[in-house]
A and B are shown apart, each in its own frame.
Chain A
Amino acid sequence: MSPRRSATPRFSIVTPVYDPPIDVLKECIESVLAQDFQDWELIMVDDFSTQAAVPTVIGHYAQQDPRITLIERDVNGHIVAASNDGVDAARGEFIALLDHDDLLVPHALSRVVEAIDRHDDVDYLYTDEDKVTADGTTYGAFAKPDWSPERLRGQMYTSHLSVLRTSLVREVGGFREGFEGSQDHDLVLRVTERARRVVHVPEVLYHWRAVEGSTAVDIEAKPYAETAGIRAVQEHLDRVGIDAEAGPGAEPGRYVVRRRLAPERTVSVVIPTAGQSALVRGRRAVLVVEAVRSLLERTDHDRVEVVVVHDTPTPPAVLDELRAIARERLVLVPFDRPFNFSEKVNVGVCHASGDRLVFLNDDIEAISQGWLEQLVAPLDEPDVGLTGAKLYFGDQTVQHAGHAYYNAGYHHPFKFWTRDEVGPFGELVVNREVTGVTAACAAMRRDTFFAIGGFSETLPGNFNDVDLCYKVRAAGLRTLFIATSELHHYESQTREARVQEWERLAVVSRWGVPDEDAFTPRAVAMPNLRRIQQLPDELFSQP
């Protein structure tokens, strides 16, 4: 039976076309024709290609299949104009964006339909993607996080395949002139501001063509996209009322969002300590003293209170030194009960007066100027419940960049990556939603802390932060990893955490066994295996 053209198809696949290699263009169209879901239309907008063969080939396919439409522009208008012509012509309930040299997997649309049918209020869907070479080899699969609005501010991570409700695309005015190169990022930011629901389909359904000059191969191929991207993010921040400045990130395609902390916010930094000393960069130092000194030096925020919960054997000289550094900002809380990290922090919070709380281990040293402002400011968004900083060992390797809970365990992905590395898909340099963060440096609103019952004192040593993060999520709040808040954490790199089985079971009895992480899937979170796989083969060959 020959395919029929529906009056209102489920999908309008919009493809702006400009001078692609003909064989690649054909493969692209064939990948649409091969869909096992049939209710679609393909709108190909030829943006005045110089090769006459381009519209001829599309026209040929359009003659064969009534679901394919060719729109020929009279002038070259660049991708925004061409895409908007496609949007104007779309009759489908959803618009799927497909580049002229990329490929859909045969069950792409049927998988998306399944997701739409599960949530009838979905306005935007995105899927995982990989790259495909000229010979059809696929590589670089990107297992994306579930809906992660903070990450979208730092990079256009949803990218391909993006499927948007047509009415909403029109409501926000389609693609915008002046955002060429980042027009899809700008559109998705505007659509998701109004979307009732955003759904991630965790399966590679799109092959992004890696050819010379494409951003799939070289992220710096379109330098103009960077400026447009920063502007798109900045305008988004302004629209949603976040007081922040967008700027260039660690590499092209990544953006840094630097929030401003309202001066009236009162912040209490709670530090449990026993007043120990340790060698720090070859010098013996009292850890808590260095922590307090650096945290105050590297913040410009005035209304900071430092609550030090100290074991009663803490030497008086240490307390005197703390008084000298923090002066009227210091609150000393003696603690004379057996070791219980959770209890110690809870007691500290009960003596704190700030409306924002920062939990800080005493073996921490702040590195980045404004670390506190960056960590605390996102808590002004009502649905952000917890933020965590980026921590390094003394040798500048990563100690913490967010937790990931999967495979029946609780993990620190990206441990031992170096400070200058951006991580897979920018994980280390972009602020993003995570399942959990370490309590070695984390921040919460005071009301949230009391609403969820603080740290569980049934977990005195391990996993109290994991439990806290689960509580935050159960309260319907987001947890953010803040890459711009950087600190040293002088925890021993070789220390084996002595985890008791009962501790793990205590967490599991509350929250269940973790299977797959929603924000850092195991495919992304197991970097050591990935890095070994990327090493050149000759390293493993016999001499």
Chain B
Amino acid sequence: MTQDATPPTGDGSELERLREEVAEARHHLLTVQDHIVGLEAENGRLNRDLIRVTAELRQLRKRVKNLTGQRDDLRTKLQDVRTRLERNRARVAQLEGSRSGGGPSLARRAARRVRSALR
């Protein structure tokens, strides 16, 4: 078993001094090793975070790509609908224009017919 580590005086002092040096060296070893283990841990944690963030980024990019594709599809559809709407409006205007001098509109004529049928 080891002895009292309080620094003694007398003949045993050299032995105690050496013991103390060994203890200090061990202590130094411990703190350096802790530093290394800590750095490795932090490195590992950063790597894990990086992997996670990269995976999240990949997923988000995929999602952005999907959403962009959906947006482009919808834009194309919207454009198509707008084109058809314009075409139909023009057609309606054309039809209504052609009838404007020739009596009441189709709707008015239909309403009139319904009313007469109900009398």
Contact = CB atoms under 8 A, between A and B. Distances in A.
Interface centre among B7, B31, B35 (most CB of A within 10 A): B31
B11 interface: no
Main secondary structure of the interface of A (DSSP, over half): mixed
Contacts of B6: 332-334
Interface residues of A, number: 33
Contacts of A330: 4
A332 B4 contact: yes
Interface string A511-524: 11000000000000
Contacts of A470: 41
B20 to A, nearest CB: 9
Contact of A471 (B5, B19, B35, B37): B37
Contacts of B48: 512
A509 B45 contact: yes
Contacts of A331: 1-5
Contact of B31 (A334, A453, A509, A510): A453
B42 interface: yes
B34 A457 contact: yes
A328 B23 contact: no
A233 interface: no
B33 A332 contact: no
A512 B42 CA distance: 8
Interface in B19-42: 19, 22-24, 26-27, 29-38, 40-42
B33 A334 contact: no
A333 B27 CA distance: 13
Contact of A452 (B3, B7, B37, B45): B37
B4 A351 contact: no
Interface in A114-139: none
Nearest to B32: A453
Interface string B30-67: 11111111101110110011000000000000000000
A350 B1 contact: no
A349 B44 CA distance: 28
Given A350-B27, A512-B48, A456 B34 contact: yes
A451 B36 CA distance: 10
Given A346-B30, A350-B23, A351-B23, A334 B37 contact: no
A167 interface: no
Nearest to A329: B1
Contact of B1 (A353, A451, A471): A353
A450 interface: yes
A456 B32 CA distance: 10
A389 interface: no
Size class of the contact patch on chain B: 20 to 34
A321 to B, nearest CB: 14
A347 interface: yes
Interface string B72-97: 00000000000000000000000000
Contacts of B45: 509-512
A474 interface: yes
Contact of A453 (B2, B4, B33, B49): B33
A180 interface: no
Contacts of B49: 512
Contacts of A351: 2, 5, 19, 23
A460 to B, nearest CB: 13
A305 B33 contact: no
A454 interface: yes
A351 B21 CA distance: 10
Contacts of B37: 452-453, 471, 474
Nearest to A455: B34
B35 to A, nearest CB: 7
B17 to A, nearest CB: 14
Contacts of B27: 346-347, 350
A434 interface: no
A58 interface: no
A295 interface: no
Nearest to B4: A332
A512 B19 CA distance: 39
A440 interface: no
A352 interface: yes
Contacts of A510: 38, 41-42, 45
Contacts of A307: 2
Contacts of B31: 346, 453-454, 457
Contacts of B42: 509-510
B1 A305 contact: yes
Contact of B2 (A353, A457, A458): A353
Interface string A441-478: 00000000011111111100000000000110010000
Interface of B: 1-7, 19, 22-24, 26-27, 29-38, 40-42, 44-45, 48-49
5 contacts: A333-B6, A452-B33, A510-B41, A512-B45, A512-B49
Given A453-B34, A458-B38, 11 more contacts: A331-B4, A332-B6, A333-B5, A349-B26, A350-B23, A350-B27, A351-B2, A453-B30, A453-B31, A453-B35, A474-B41
A-B pairs with lowest CB-CB distance, top 7: A453-B34, A453-B33, A350-B26, A510-B41, A350-B23, A454-B30, A333-B5
